[in-house]
Structure 1
Amino acid sequence: MLGRLYDNEVCSAARALEIVGERWSLLIIRNAMFTGATRFSEFQRALRIAPNILTSRLQRFVEAGLMETRPQPDAPEVHEYVLTDKGLDLQPVIIALTHWGDRWAAPDGPPIIYGHDGCGGPLRQHLTCDNCGATPTSAEVGVLRGPGMPPGR
């Protein structure tokens, strides 16, 4: 959590950061999504994250509905952390953040490339207008009033 709530912000990005904006959060989700990590020990070993921090993040993900716990088939006393559909919906966020990092924070080039399992081609993120199908530049992206905006704001 960011340390304060964004109840007055009327901003979905701020509210999303309340759930996944802490250090380590998206890396844990990334490892669950792309490396198949499900066990506490797998996350800890791969990320070298302190156990208390990992415990806190995993509990928060379960509370928020991003993950659920299931007993391991081979060891029912051990639980695995499995992404829910809500957690899996973060995939485009992680890919977009990675592409930004590839451009601005990877001087030797992308360390990994997300690809399409079907054909092996690289994936890329882009915005598309639902109305006309155009792919706008950054300068052409604006803000429209949404149905969740309270009257008078």
Structure 2
Amino acid sequence: MPRAPAVKDTTDVVETCPVARAVDLVGDRWSLLIVRDAFDGTRRFGDFQRGLGMARNILADRLRKLTDAGILDLQAASDGTAYQEYVLTPKGESLFPLVVALRQWGERHLFAQGERHSTLVDTRTGKAIPYMAPQSNDHTVLTPARTRVKKVG
């Protein structure tokens, strides 16, 4: 399997941190909001633009970047029109836990008590999804103190 190209930081050193590589690809506001909207069913350029209120050139750049990275796929419109649609790939769908984690962090820390906000619900039950937290193999919640990064080299 071919190795993913290394992302380089400002000192031109090969980046070995998965967080840094992920942030380089999807860490800007627009890319994450495009992915969020794709999870919500947005598929067409014009719909992304209207929903996000972003400039066409910036949207085109981010969609190209996400498509080139294999997060989105450009397909013929599902309704048979001449339009094309952006659809999440399995790689893109695997960003769902990241979007949920950001949502839940925002709910906990960026809204006043009782302030209204959108809610992510389970379509089967209609209830808000439970809080996500990293777990060990024995299903206990992991805190930062219970983990460490094994650096390369």
Report if TM-score (shorter chain) is over 0.5. Answer: yes
C-alpha contact (below 8 Å) 1:37/1:43 kept by paired residues: yes
The aligned residue for residue 115 of structure 1 is: 121
The aligned residue for residue 85 of structure 2 is: 80
- Comparing 4-13 with 91-100, which one deviates more in the overlay? 4-13
Which whole-Å deviations, capped at 9, do the CAs of 1:1-52 have from their partners, x for residues lacking one?
A: xxx7245331101001111012311111000102x10000000001101000
Distance 1:101 1:67 in 2: 25
Unaligned runs of 5+ in 2: 1-6
Q: Does 1:5 align with 2:12?
A: no
Question: What is the TM-score with the length of structure 2 in the denominator?
Answer: 0.84
Distance 2:64 2:92 in 1: 13
Distance 2:66 2:30 in 1: 12
Q: Does 1:126 align with 2:133?
A: yes
C-alpha contact (below 8 Å) 1:5/1:18 kept by paired residues: no
Within 5 Å, which residues of 2 pair with 1:39-78?
A: 39-72=44-77, 73-76=79-82, 78=83
C-alpha contact (below 8 Å) 1:62/1:68 kept by paired residues: yes
Which whole-Å deviations, capped at 9, do the CAs of 1:70-126 have from their partners, x for residues lacking one?
A: 1114213x2100000100111111111011111221225351111111112211211
Return the offset for 1:144: 4.5
Return the offset for 1:69: 0.4
Q: Residue type matched to 1:105 in 2?
A: L
Distance 1:85 1:118 in 2: 22
Return the offset for 1:141: 3.1
Q: Residue type matched to 1:143 in 2?
A: R
Distance 1:92 1:110 in 2: 23
Q: Residue type matched to 1:29 in 2?
A: V
> How many residues of Structure 1 are paired with residues of Structure 2 in the alignment?
141
Unaligned runs of 5+ in 1: none
SS in 2 for 1:74: coil
Report the identity percentage: 33
The aligned residue for residue 4 of structure 2 is: none
Question: What is the TM-score with the length of structure 1 in the denominator?
Answer: 0.84
C-alpha contact (below 8 Å) 1:102/1:110 kept by paired residues: no
